[in-house]
Amino acid sequence: MGMNMTEKILARHAGLSHVEPGQLITCQLDMVLANDITAPPSIKEFERIGRPVFDNEKIALVPDHFQPAKDIKAAGLGKIVRDFAKKHKIKNYFEIGRVGIEHVILPEFGLVGPGMLTIGADSHTCTYGALNGFSTGVGTTDLAVGMATGRAWFKVPETIEVHLTGEKPADVNGKDVILTLIGMIGVDGALYKSLEFTGEGVAALTMTDRLTIANMAIEAGAKNGIFPFDEKTKEYVEGRVKGAYEPVASDADAKYCRTVEIDLSSLRPVVAFPHLPGNTKRVMDIAEPIKIDQVVIGSCTNGRLEDLEISAGLLKGHEVHPDVRCIVIPGSQAVYQEAMHLGYIDVFIDAGCAVAAPTCGPCLGGYMGILTADERCVSTTNRNFRGRMGHVDSEVYLAGPHVAAASAILGRIAAPEEVK
């Protein structure tokens, strides 16, 4: 029996010729990641182990959630990470001014790539499957052991094939694809399974689309999401990933527990209603206008240059609705700088948007856009659980950059074609 992409990466890193779903294995790690929220408790566990880090070039520490420090407690968390990085000479520590959102900058800097195995103490570590790697989130203890030994244990997941055909319309992006999928299978539809994206439709997706889709695999309960290596992947990683990398491809007789078919050409802009990412509706099917108070454009899901390009394209020549606050958060310093050079930042400011330094900020209810009771926000972030962005009686509607920008202009949830 052949193996799929996830199984091949796990087998290779476990030193085995073959693995099967349900098998327990121990793997060598290529990258171990933590941020300013998850690193401090992992560092505490690491110190109890009493040994040095396994490799100071294979650990990435990214203080992105509450940094620049939102309060005294956040400053203390940042100091714990900073001191640990200095003590152990962590090469990939990203200080304020050089930092970006972790799942944006690791691909940017070539720290993750094809065939690599990455763990991170953040559930959206699954982002890097867009680059044909296996990546997944872990807890405090597993991360501490990973930093000390360079190893982690896994149960080989079953795999769902997501077969893509057709080409997406111009007003549809990766966020619409993944929200549509989650709406089809549910937030537990891929529980501890791999989501493997296949088919001719993959070629129609940009790398930004793929990073967005893989990022939200966890919102369907998946262990990871993964894409095949193709010319777009090669173009993205060459010049970024240092050293050799080994792409993987599924065997012709690879086994899947289920196949889900999606015709990209049939998709339309969607939103996920409160309070689950799977509560999706096409914008065109919303019967009554839904007035909003805030729009957030950014995050590890949609904070890349292409996302800002889409948003700026709609906002150019328009103003944010007087009843709406629009907050734009570039995903990295590089994205911010390039957006300035291309004139996107001018567009945002001219339209009446607030442009912030790269941070996770409001996504997890941290700062930079917290909601009070009865407020509604259209957000390009990845979760809309009750109280996720502030008060338990606030509401978050998940959307891609097309819908977010259109909604900011019209003051209600809107499709991009409504903007004249």
Average pLDDT across the chain, whole number: 96
The number of distinct structural domains making up the chain is 2
The residue from 202, 235, 263 where one domain ends is 263
Give the tens place of pLDDT for each residue, 315-344: 999 999 999 999 999 999 999 999 999 999
Question: Residue 366: what pLDDT?
Answer: 87
The CATH number assigned to the domain holding 232 equals 3.30.499.10
338 and 316, same structural domain? yes
| Largest pairwise CA distance in the chain | 63
Is residue 420 pLDDT above 80, yes or no? no
pLDDT class of 407 with cuts at 50, 70, 90: very high
352 and 234, same structural domain? no
Distance, in Å, from the CA atom of 25 to the CA atom of 413, rounded to the nearest integer, reads 46
The residue from 234, 263, 292 where one domain ends is 263
339 and 215, same structural domain? no
Please list, in sequence order, all residues whose beta carbon lies within 8 angstroms of the beta carbon of residue 72, skipping any fewer than 6 positions away. none
237 and 216, same structural domain? yes
Is residue 97 pLDDT above 80, yes or no? yes
Domain extent, residue 178, equals 5-263
121 and 35, same structural domain? yes
220 and 97, same structural domain? yes
234 and 356, same structural domain? no
291 and 234, same structural domain? no
**Does residue 11 contact residue 17 with C-beta atoms inside 8 Å?**
yes
301 and 179, same structural domain? no
The residue from 229, 263, 297 where one domain ends is 263
Is residue 401 pLDDT above 90, yes or no? yes
Give the tens place of pLDDT for each residue, 12-71: 999 999 999 999 999 999 999 999 999 999 999 999 999 999 999 999 999 999 988 899
212 and 348, same structural domain? no
318 and 246, same structural domain? no
Question: Residue 96: what pLDDT?
Answer: 87
254 and 319, same structural domain? no
Mean pLDDT, range 233-238, rounded to an integer: 96
205 phi and psi, to 5 degrees?
A: -95, 135
Following CA atoms 406, 309, 336, 61 in sequence, which dihedral angle do they give, to the nearest 10 degrees?
90
Is residue 237 pLDDT above 90, yes or no? yes
Q: How far is CA 225 from CA 191, 218, 258, in A?
A: 12, 8, 14
Closest C-alpha among 258, 269, 261 to residue 222:
258
Secondary structure element (H or E) that encloses residue 337, with its range: helix 333-341
**Does residue 216 contact residue 180 with C-beta atoms inside 8 Å?**
no
